[in-house]
Structure formats: C-alpha cells, structure tokens
C-alpha cells in the first residue's frame, strides 16, 4: 500500500513540474495522472474522498490525452487566455484538478482523524491554502477577457505561485502519509 502513496507523490510531481526540452514535456502530465490514478485505485476503498480523487485522476488523464489531439496548443502550454474558447477549454481541467487535490487532502484528513499523527490537521490546513488560491484563480481567470492583459497576467502569476506553494505542501503531506502508513 505504501507504494500507492509514492505513486501519487511522483504523479503530483510530474503534473506540477513542466520540464520542456524543445517544446516536449519530459515529465508529461498524462503519465503523472496515470501514476496518481493507479495510486488512488489502491486507496479508494479507504474512504469516498479517495474515490473522488481516483475518478478525477482518470478524467484528467482522458482530458490530457484528448487535448493533445484536439487542442495541441493547450497541451503544449502555449494557450492564450484572452479568448472565451480557450478559457472554457481549460476550465474542466482546473475543476478536475481541484477535485483531485480535494479528494487527496480530505481522504488523508478522514483516514488519519483520531490518530496520534497530526496529518489530519496538516491536511486540513493545506487543503484550505490550496482551495483559497484555486478559488482566487477561478474568480480572476475570466477577467483576462476584459481587463488589461499585462496587469492581469501579473495578478494571475501571483495567484498561481500561491497555488504552486500549496501543491508543494500537499506533496510533502502525501510523503508523510506514505511514511506513516502502517501495513
């Protein structure tokens, strides 16, 4: 079971880091979602939150594969946000990713509630941090359509940074959960 946690950890790392060489992502998101899905497949029997995360991971895997063929500019990460079409292409991925992190964090929180470890408290705080950043991003994204794109880009960048920091703390949370797992 511990391997499942580490798959999730590696999967999140693949999704978080975009290491591109000549426009090719060396750590493709698709592989990341596959690792997360396979990890959560083992954990989903523990509680419903992991099941939600598992389902989200599979849907994100499908979305990543589909966008590679239908919207290659999205898959390459070069999409311009100042059009309604592009915003709506990205919206499902943002929502599913939110559901994935929610599922992982709430799953850990539920599983470790009542144990001596403080993982439930840590999971709760990190989820709040992530959700706050993600909520801000979701509210601000559509303003890209109407406000000066230069100003908005800097605001979006700051919010993205907040979300990234929150996701890094979730990575450490998953590592701790894997470390504390008792077979």
Q: Give contact residues for another protein (rule: CB under 8 A).
A: 80, 82-84, 87, 91, 135, 138-143, 145-146
Identify which of residues 46 and 95 has a Cβ nearer to another protein in the complex: 95
Continuous H helices in the chain: 2-16, 29-43, 48-70, 72-75, 84-112, 119-140, 149-180
Q: How far is the CB of 130 from another protein (least distance, A)?
A: 13
Residue whose C-alpha is closest to residue 163's, from 126, 134, 128, 140: 134
Residue pointed to by tokens 């426009």:
23
Identify which of residues 32 and 53 has a Cβ nearer to another protein in the complex: 53
For residues 15 and 97, give the distance between their C-alpha atoms in angstroms, rounded to a whole number: 10
Q: How far is the CB of 153 from another protein (least distance, A)?
A: 16
Q: How far is the CB of 147 from another protein (least distance, A)?
A: 9
Identify which of residues 58 and 125 has a Cβ nearer to another protein in the complex: 125
């Amino acid at each position: 079971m511990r391997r499942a946690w580490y798959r999730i950890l590696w999967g999140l790392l693949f999704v978080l880091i975009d290491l591109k060489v000549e426009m090719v992502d060396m750590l493709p998101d698709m592989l990341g979602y596959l690792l997360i899905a396979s990890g959560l497949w083992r954990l989903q029997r523990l509680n419903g939150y992991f099941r939600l995360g598992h389902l989200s991971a599979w849907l994100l895997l499908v979305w990543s594969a589909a966008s590679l063929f239908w919207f290659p500019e999205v898959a390459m990460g070069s999409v311009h946000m100042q059009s309604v079409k592009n915003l709506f292409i990205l919206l499902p991925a943002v929502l599913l990713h939110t559901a994935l992190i929610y599922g992982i964090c709430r799953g850990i929180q539920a599983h470790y509630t009542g144990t001596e470890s403080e993982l439930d408290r840590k999971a709760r705080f990190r989820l709040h941090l992530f959700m706050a950043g993600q909520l801000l991003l979701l509210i601000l994204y559509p303003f890209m359509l109407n406000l000066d794109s230069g100003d908005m880009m800097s605001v979006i960048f700051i919010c993205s940074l907040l979300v990234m920091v929150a996701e890094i703390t979730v990575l450490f949370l998953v590592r701790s959960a894997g470390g504390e797992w008792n077979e």
